[in-house]
Amino acid sequence: MKIENRFLKYISFNTQSDPYSTTSPSSKNQLELAEFLIEEMRILGLENVHMSEFGVIYGTIPSNNNHQGDVIGLIAHMDTSPDASGENVHPQIIRNYDGSRISLNEDMVLDPQEFPDLNEVIGHDIITTDGTTLLGADDKAGIAIIMSLAEYMYKHPEFKHNDIQIAFTPDEEVGRGTEHFDLDTFQADYAYTIDGGHINELYFENFNAYQVLVEITGKSIHPGSAKNKMVNSLSVGIEFDQLLPQHKTPEHTEGYEGFHHLHHVQGTCEKTRLEYIVRDHNFLELKDQLNDFKRIQAFLNSRYGYELVHITMHEQYLNMKDIIKDTPEIVEQVEIAMNDVGLNPTIVPIRGGTDGAMLSYKGLPCPNLGTGGFNCHGPFEFVSITMMKKGLELLLRLIRNNVYAKEDMPF
């Protein structure tokens, strides 16, 4: 099956995860794609294929070379972001993209001036949305690359390799992708998540991440007699947000710069809840950001004269760089493979997190490789079919380099 057809099939499944669910997986619709993948994996000769009670799929491409070389793991996630609809995705395929503006629908345009990543895919075959949903390249492009690898190995038994461990996780987009990941089942020496942007990019640094919940308890009084009595929690919530450093929001930061992001507000005069994510590559600077929240809490509680603001902080994940630095060879071999297939390896800090961050801290070093997906989590998302094909070529070279001496390389 062509890699693009495989991708188009996967995005036909609506697999949005639910940040407010307490189940694993967080949404039942992820299981529909999971069942489809399990059947496909078995058809392609994978062994030990099964889904755990928590919706994690495992399988092994069995060794055909008497177990020579490292056992490499490949991981992608099945869910799509809850930030935009993933239901009834209507993809548009554009062949040999010429660099011009792309009309998604009557009201929305993908313009290279606004989205300069389009300049990276001139001459490529690309897939966009119709402007009403996200696309799902994050991370169904990664699944398509991994499953295309499995199909290639099934059809080419002359391609020698050790065991290759495969896993597809739910709920990565809500920070729970590895919550129930079983390393005793996934017997790999190290792994790579296939989940990212430009195919030249290699990621082994990510944000340290916290969730901060700010709960404000006001004093609700009839507005006709509220003078000097009412404390409107909604107004205090606005005040709280304005007291945070305004230059440290996502729309004002890039690269290694950290941020706080207010992504959900719910409230009444009596009760308001602000939900933030706080991110920084430097853990000490992250702590400074968290202290900003505590200082504002103390200031407002003192100003209003009672325990108006309550804050809960929750660690989500840490920077995998602190783990990967102890196994530099797993990064170096990707750089070698990239050069071998004509790519330009570029180290990029992830302005987010991946399953690989959590897995690295669990004892499985796990950098991340790109897929050719751009503008994720919204209707301007697009993916390069050309880059997905190159991603497959990269994985084949990476695995083959692990088995063969350079002079014995079959290709």
Question: pLDDT per position in the chain (411 positions), as tens?
Answer: 999 999 999 999 999 999 989 999 999 999 999 999 999 999 999 999 999 999 999 999 999 999 999 999 999 999 999 999 999 999 999 999 999 999 999 999 999 999 999 999 999 999 999 999 999 999 999 999 999 999 999 999 999 999 999 999 999 998 888 999 999 999 999 999 999 899 999 999 999 999 999 999 999 999 999 999 999 999 999 999 999 999 999 999 998 999 999 999 999 999 999 999 999 999 999 999 999 999 999 999 999 999 999 999 999 889 999 999 999 999 999 999 999 999 999 988 888 878 888 999 999 999 999 999 999 999 999 999 999 999 999 999 999 998 875 445 444
Same-domain pairing of 171 and 235? no
Backbone angles phi, psi at 129, to 5 degrees: -90, -175
Same domain, 131 and 164: yes
127, 113: one domain = yes
Let me know whether 257 and 333 are in one domain: no
Domain count, the chain: 2
Distance separating alpha carbons of residues 328 and 319, to the nearest angstrom: 15
Check whether 340 is labelled as a binding-site residue.
no
Clarify whether residues 268 and 346 are in a common domain. Answer: no
DSSP assignments along 221-285, one per residue = --GGG-TTT-B-HHHHHHHHHHHS-TTSSGGG--TT--EEEEEEEEE-SSEEEEEEEEEESSHHH
Which distant-in-sequence residues (6+ apart) come within 8 Å of 267 by Cβ? 216, 233, 234, 237, 273
Question: What whole-number distance in Å separates Cα of residue 101 and Cα of residue 379?
Answer: 15
99: left (phi over 0), alpha (psi -120 to 50) or beta: left
CATH number at residue 274: 3.30.70.360
Instruction: Tell me how many degrees the CA angle 302-306-309 measures, rounded to the nearest 5.
Output: 80
DSSP 3-state assignment of 61?
strand
Is 107 assigned to a binding site? no
> Are residues 251 and 153 both part of a single domain?
no
CATH for 91: 3.40.630.10
The neighbour count for residue 174, using CB atoms within 10 Å, is 21
Sole residue written with tokens 């119709």: 130
Q: Please tell me the distance from the alpha carbon of residue 127 to that of residue 124, in angstroms, as a whole number.
A: 10
Same domain, 12 and 84: yes
Helix (H, G, I), strand (E, B) or coil at 121: helix
Q: State pLDDT tens for residues 205-249.
A: 999 999 999 999 999 999 999 999 999 999 999 999 999 999 999
Q: Are residues 339 and 296 in the same domain?
A: no
What is residue 411's predicted lDDT score, i.e. its pLDDT?
43
Confidence (pLDDT) at 381: 97
Domain's final residue, options 281, 316, 351: 316
Q: Catalytic amino acids?
A: 79, 172
Q: Report d(CA 339, CA 332) in Å as an integer.
A: 11
173 is in an annotated binding site: yes
Query: Is there a contact between 386 and 121 (Cβ–Cβ < 8 Å)?
Result: yes
Provide the residue type at 272 as one letter.
T
195 labelled ligand-binding: yes
Judging by DSSP bridges, how do beta strands 190-194 and 346-347 pair with one another? unpaired
Q: What is the dihedral of CA 304, 308, 314, 315, to 10 degrees?
A: 0
pLDDT of residue 410: 45
The beta strands (E) that lie in 111-203 are given as: 126-128, 164-169, 190-194, 201-203
Give which of 161, 147, 148 is closest to 399, Cα–Cα: 161
Residues 310 and 346 placed together within one structural domain of the fold: no
* Per-residue pLDDT, 186: 97
Q: Report phi then psi at 282, rounded to 5.
A: -95, 120
- 83 and 117 both lie in a single domain: yes
CB-based contact 178:54 (threshold 8 Å): no
53 with 141, same domain: the answer is: yes
Among residues 316, 336, 352, which one ends one of the domains? Answer: 316
Residue 106 and residue 75 share a domain: yes
120 is in an annotated binding site: no
The CA-based dihedral angle spanning residues 144, 147, 149, 150, taken in that order and rounded to the nearest 10 degrees: -170
In the block, tokens 């996934």 appear at 186
Distance CA(351)–CA(205), nearest Å, equals: 9
Range of the domain at 374: 3-205+319-408
pLDDT tens digit sequence for 266-312: 999 999 999 999 999 999 999 999 999 999 999 999 999 999 999 99
- Among the candidates 288, 316, 344, a domain finishes at 316
